[in-house]
Structure 1
């Protein structure tokens, strides 16, 4: 027998050391997931009661636009002050936005409440990533990110149904109000474990740099909103179409300039290492989120199923995502390969859905293919989170985590906008089925995933001396 003392087994994510923090973080993500799923379901009822009119879409675009700004500001703040101020501010803003929306007497107040909630949501997510990087050992981080992805499953399954029942039989206001206790409980659970976290010893930026970054975040949010609104409006024939397309191009150009200041240098060129990890996140989100947004519409049009049945495809995607996250947490080897595998799976699934956009294809086949797409996202996106933390230091962890979220959010906006413009240009309201329209949309969206294969391969870090890839986190 060896005379040395037995090594202490590393504590698990649900050990006494981490349990309250883990549950609190899961509650934060569950809150965000339920808010996204439930509010989407209840919004038609809100719009009808408060006469939303043409402002209906602003309740969604303003949330996402504000999330971009909240993400940028929180990233800079976390690197200067630590994650605690950003998490506290994010929770307060999320709660304030929910209260504002729940008490709204006019639709513009609901929209304002969504914008405030978006600011809070962006700040919360960045702070959570920094907390995971600061507190959990690297061996536990893939497990935590896998669980975060799984935290979307329950809201995906029960959120739309619960919101629909509340809106129909009680009041849509409770859809907003029901999320508030979850936010407060989550804050109480994580506070004891994170209250000692302070700023990094050597911050990567000073206050002036943080203000400049926040300014560029504002430019990005405004440019994204302009491009999204003008592009969607230009797809509808009108005398102002040329001006609208010009405005959309200007917004896209301004967003590109702002991104160059906010993302790691070389992200738009797919430079090796961290820049390509961040780019992969955005490209995969563009393909998946846009396809998922139009999937219920496709099966309703091509298969004639009812909305509840159409929702089964989304549930299958959420379950597949959880399975993919579970697998990546236990995968060994070089993690950049998981990005390539996930992007390849997503390209095949999204392109496959396009080829299957026909009434003759059984509905269960589409459900199965979409679960495959969800598994691809769980495999790849959780891996991007792990890689960004591993490639960051305590001084730039907040900024890099914010960059990852910016890429994720902007990718979702870009993909959804492209899909929406294609749908508006190609659809014929007088025709039935529209299978050809959806086929074109899905094949175009698959291009984003194909580009993700390239960026995923370039996410590997190659040492100049040996040519080997040392990153195996």
Structure 2
């Protein structure tokens, strides 16, 4: 165990409450480059996502391939989740510096392939490359947070990253639209190039490699990852399917493939998941459930919120995008606000208050769809953003700190991967639910209202167990004997 790991493990409540850290500490010479690098890692993912989603219709108009436009996101998410799942093992085997650099270069290769593509197939291959690179970058950046920063600054790191997300939510679509109109959709992909170059330079400069630890030779979990990929692709296909029988078969295949992957991982000598992952008897397991369920609940908004605003309230695209970005702004503002909490009890309270706000926000969102009252939707967006803002940083820190020292990398790298999985699966299931409720056959706004409300009811239902497991995790934290590792 390193000195810093002992610092995390042996942190007493008195120390935690007496020194909450300052925002300016992130800009101190010791942490400035690390803060900038982690924020660039987030920017790479956030801006790229908003840029690509904005330019993809123009890309398809030039290259063709309308039937596979949704696969741009599907393949990216699948590659990202698979790569993120293996990130901890790669970090242990090759060191963080080498893995981060290689992943960034893979992302760069995918970006250049997509930017210079002459067919939609090449664009999709480029998106796979971006997913593979970004999945590892996001996961390793999470793992580096507890390695580089003391616990008192971790909430502020998450606050800074949330601010980057908010900037991307507003600036990404605007920048992509401007570049597409004045230059070309290809220019939006090339925006990533200088970000990658600066990120790699920082990673080579400050990221430790292996820190002198013994490197164990481990077998690559190829079969487990292949089964996981099968599960992800089939459930995403189910969400895109317009025929319920085929969708049902795809879901069964997905469940069987996922069960097989988890079964093999539990029996493996070197596991991909941390011990006790998704256990209902530990704060670690319950916290991971909270991450997954909150992401599942939010996924419906990422798929159908802008669509609802444009078709039910007749918002123009810019106004609809601004309303969607309101959630990201509230996430950032609340994350910055609660990052100054010093009391351990208040920090733990944020972990369950956030999901409770999510329940209320999604309930208001359903009510707004059924009633047609836009004011309810505005309040819902504020509540949902605050839900993630107050809880996400402290939930992530709790999971990093409660994981055994030798499995902290596995836990930390799993967090962004699990979030991506929740968004992917939640979006697919929301699509399946909306289509089953008659979305595809709807002719007008009133015909759309019911199917869209049904999809958001599913999101509301996902939020209920998220609140329950978060509350239970905090209860176990207050009773250490109940927090079995």
Same fold (TM over 0.5): yes
Q: Say if 1:359 and 1:311 are closer, same or farther in 2 by CA, change over 3 A.
A: farther
Q: 1:261-314 CA distances to partner (integer Å, 9 max, x unpaired)? A: 344444445332111111111100111122232111111121111111111212
Distance 1:152 1:90 in 2: 21
Q: 1:177-217 CA distances to partner (integer Å, 9 max, x unpaired)? A: 111101111222343222x44256366xx4335x12x5422
Q: Say if 1:400 and 1:467 are closer, same or farther in 2 by CA, change over 3 A.
A: closer
1:22 aligns with 2:35: yes
Distance 1:365 1:464 in 2: 36
Distance 2:209 2:404 in 1: 15
Counterpart of 2:359?
Answer: 347
Q: 1:402-436 CA distances to partner (integer Å, 9 max, x unpaired)? A: 22233212111121111101111222322323222
Pick which of 132-141 and 434-443 moved more: 434-443
Aligned length: 453
Gaps of 5+ in 1: 1-6
1:432 aligns with 2:445: yes
Q: Deviation at 1:118? A: 0.4
1:253 pairs, out of 249, 253, 256, with 256
Distance 2:98 2:128 in 1: 20
Aligned pairs (5 A) from 1:122-141: 122-141=135-154
1:382 aligns with 2:393: yes
Distance 1:317 1:223 in 2: 30
Aligned pairs (5 A) from 1:43-442: 43-194=56-207, 196-199=208-211, 201=213, 206-209=216-219, 211-212=220-221, 214-233=222-241, 236-237=242-243, 241-259=244-262, 261=265, 262-331=272-341, 332-334=343-345, 335-358=347-370, 360-361=372-373, 363-426=374-437, 427=439, 428-433=441-446, 434-442=448-456
Distance 1:35 1:163 in 2: 10
Q: Which aligned segments of 4 or more residues in structure 1 are displaced greater than 6 angstroms?
A: 463-466
Q: 1:105-144 CA distances to partner (integer Å, 9 max, x unpaired)? A: 0001100000011000011011111221111111111111
Distance 1:64 1:35 in 2: 13
Q: Is the 8 A contact 1:272 1:460 kept in 2?
A: no
Pick which of 59-68 and 335-344 moved more: 335-344
Distance 2:28 2:275 in 1: 39
Q: What secondary structure, in the 3-state scheme, does the structure 2 residue paired with 1:304 have?
A: coil
Q: Is the 8 A contact 1:290 1:416 kept in 2?
A: yes
Q: Deviation at 1:175? A: 0.6
Q: What secondary structure, in the 3-state scheme, does the structure 1 residue paired with 2:151 have?
A: coil
Pick which of 323-332 and 366-375 moved more: 323-332
Distance 1:174 1:95 in 2: 14
Distance 2:391 2:141 in 1: 19
Counterpart of 1:3?
Answer: none
Distance 2:354 2:212 in 1: 34
Q: Deviation at 1:464? A: 11
Q: 1:131-183 CA distances to partner (integer Å, 9 max, x unpaired)? A: 21111111111111111111111111111011112122210001101111011
Q: Is the 8 A contact 1:68 1:217 kept in 2?
A: no
Pick which of 449-458 and 172-181 moved more: 449-458
Q: 1:28-83 CA distances to partner (integer Å, 9 max, x unpaired)? A: 21121100011001001111111113211111100000001110221212233432
1:454 pairs, out of 462, 468, 471, with 468
Q: What secondary structure, in the 3-state scheme, does the structure 1 residue paired with 2:150 have?
A: coil
Q: What secondary structure, in the 3-state scheme, does the structure 2 residue paired with 1:270 have?
A: coil
Gaps of 5+ in 2: 1-18, 266-271
Q: Say if 1:435 and 1:231 are closer, same or farther in 2 by CA, change over 3 A.
A: closer
Higher helix proportion, which one? 2
Pick which of 436-445 and 56-65 moved more: 436-445
TM-score by length of 1: 0.89
Q: Deviation at 1:458? A: 2.7
Q: Say if 1:219 and 1:465 are closer, same or farther in 2 by CA, change over 3 A.
A: closer
TM-score by length of 2: 0.87
Q: Is the 8 A contact 2:303 2:427 kept in 1?
A: yes
Distance 1:177 1:123 in 2: 20
